[in-house]
């Protein structure tokens, strides 16, 4: 399931102002999605630069095809997130600019000063973490029916992350290799981008006028919303833990058949280019 990389150009628009608290009464989880989106126009171009630097070292045609598909998909992803992020900026949060500058500088510095091995291990550290979290969040049938446009965009992106789930692992393994190095840099990468996400979310929580609920009220809100339930630690943690094992390979990650149905739906929705 989801074993082919499809590059889809999606028609999502985001020209209207959005309510940043798009999960009702749950600013925290809404901002988790938003900060994830803010990260991507810096992180995904960095992944693309790393893959392009690796390209001339790849001698296996299958891995090379995957690498090209990865670059094409990630190129669509960050451009779409830039559109969405522009609509978030119209809703306020001026302090995000300084945080984003910091991130942009970090990723440019990694490309300019770090080894190819480091950059590929970072890429796999990010891809393994997010792909396994996505698999947990998507469950057997995705994020749900009648999703607002932003969540359809997220779901399309999630599907394509699952489609290219083996690429960063294979390229690292083929060009450089080494479990302990991948593990160490991968864990550092996960600390690097999750600390940025935490700081950006804390800023948004502090700045947002949305009422803050008590822990008890929050638990009730989350229990009643399918999307909040989907992103619970119970769904995500088991998949995350396995990525640290020596025998881990994304080739063994099984994708639910229901997700192929969703992938086909987004293929239908995509702008036809021929
Ligand atoms: Fe992506
Ligand atoms: Fe990816």
pLDDT in tens, 53-105: 999 999 999 999 999 999 999 999 999 999 999 988 888 899 999 999 999 99
Give distance in angstroms: CA of 179 to centre of ligand 1: 24
Mean pLDDT score, 131-145: 91
The predicted pLDDT at position 91 comes to 84
The predicted pLDDT at position 274 comes to 57
Give distance in angstroms: CA of 73 to centre of ligand 1: 7
Helices 149-163 and 61-89, axial angle in degrees (round to 10): 160
The predicted pLDDT at position 44 comes to 98
Burial classification of residue 15, based on how many CB atoms lie within 10 Å of its CB (0-12 exposed, 13-18 middle, 19 or more buried) = exposed
* Distance of alpha carbon 120 from alpha carbon 116, whole angstroms: 6
- Ligand nearest to C-alpha 50: 2
Mean pLDDT score, 16-26: 83
Neighbours of 18 (CB within 10 A): 17
């291990």: which residue's tokens? 121
H-state helical runs in the chain = 27-55, 61-89, 96-113, 116-138, 149-163, 167-175, 179-207, 215-224, 226-230, 233-241, 257-269
Residues near ligand 1 ion, CB 5 Å cutoff: 74, 77
Give distance in angstroms: CA of 131 to centre of ligand 2: 8
> Up-side HSE of residue 9: CA atoms within 13 Å toward CB?
4
The predicted pLDDT at position 188 comes to 98
* Distance of alpha carbon 91 from alpha carbon 208, whole angstroms: 10
The rounded mean pLDDT for the chain is: 93
Q: What percent of the chain has pLDDT above 70?
A: 99
* Distance of alpha carbon 227 from alpha carbon 143, whole angstroms: 6
* Distance of alpha carbon 261 from alpha carbon 73, whole angstroms: 19
* Distance of alpha carbon 41 from alpha carbon 242, whole angstroms: 28
In this prediction, residue 36 has a pLDDT band, given cuts at 50, 70 and 90, of very high
In this prediction, residue 240 has a pLDDT band, given cuts at 50, 70 and 90, of confident
Widest Cα–Cα separation across the chain: 56
Phi, psi of 141 (to 5 degrees): -135, 25
The predicted pLDDT at position 204 comes to 95
Mean pLDDT score, 235-246: 88
Give distance in angstroms: CA of 171 to centre of ligand 2: 13
> What tokens were used for 239?
């998949």
* Distance of alpha carbon 51 from alpha carbon 168, whole angstroms: 8
- Ligand nearest to C-alpha 166: 2
pTM over 0.75? The answer is yes
Encode pLDDT of 161-219 as tens digits. Answer: 999 999 999 999 999 999 999 999 999 999 999 999 999 999 999 998 888 788 888 88
Q: Residue 111 in contact with residue 50, Cβ under 8 Å?
A: yes
Give distance in angstroms: CA of 37 to centre of ligand 1: 10
């978030």: which residue's tokens? 88
* Nearest CA-CA partner of 136 in 264, 237, 272: 237
Judged against a pLDDT cut of 90, whether residue 227 lies above it is answered with no
């094409």: which residue's tokens? 72
Give distance in angstroms: CA of 174 to centre of ligand 1: 21
b/e map 87-107, b = 16+ CB within 10 Å? bbeeeebeebeebbeebeebb
- Ligand nearest to C-alpha 78: 1
- Ligand nearest to C-alpha 130: 2
Domain 27-269 has CATH 1.10.620: yes
């Amino acid at each position: 399931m989801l074993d082919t990389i499809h590059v889809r150009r999606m028609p999502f628009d985001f020209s209207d102002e959005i309510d940043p608290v798009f999960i009702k009464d749950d600013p925290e989880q809404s901002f988790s999605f938003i900060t994830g989106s803010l990260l991507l126009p810096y992180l995904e171009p960095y992944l693309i630069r790393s893959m392009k630097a690796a390209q001339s070292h790849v001698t296996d045609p299958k891995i090379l095809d995957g690498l090209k598909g990865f670059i094409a998909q990630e190129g669509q992803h960050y451009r779409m997130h830039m559109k969405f992020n522009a609509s978030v900026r119209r809703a306020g949060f001026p302090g995000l600019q300084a945080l984003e500058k910091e991130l942009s500088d970090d990723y440019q510095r990694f490309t300019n000063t770090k080894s190819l091995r480091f950059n590929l291990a970072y890429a796999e550290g990010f891809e393994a973490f997010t792909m396994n979290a996505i698999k947990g969040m998507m469950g057997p049938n995705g994020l749900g029916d009648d999703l607002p446009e932003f969540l359809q965009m997220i779901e399309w992106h999630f599907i394509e992350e699952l489609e290219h789930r083996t690429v960063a692992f294979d390229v690292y393994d083929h060009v450089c290799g080494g479990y302990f190095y991948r593990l160490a840099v991968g864990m550092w990468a996960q600390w690097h981008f999750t600390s940025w996400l935490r700081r950006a979310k804390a800023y948004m929580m502090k700045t947002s006028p949305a009422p803050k609920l008590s822990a008890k009220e929050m638990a009730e809100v989350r229990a009643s919303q399918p999307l909040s339930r989907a992103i619970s630690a119970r769904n995500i943690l088991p998949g995350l833990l396995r990525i640290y094992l020596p025998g881990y390979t994304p080739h063994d990650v099984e994708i639910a058949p229901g997700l192929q149905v969703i992938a086909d739906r987004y293929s239908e929705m995509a702008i036809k280019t021929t």
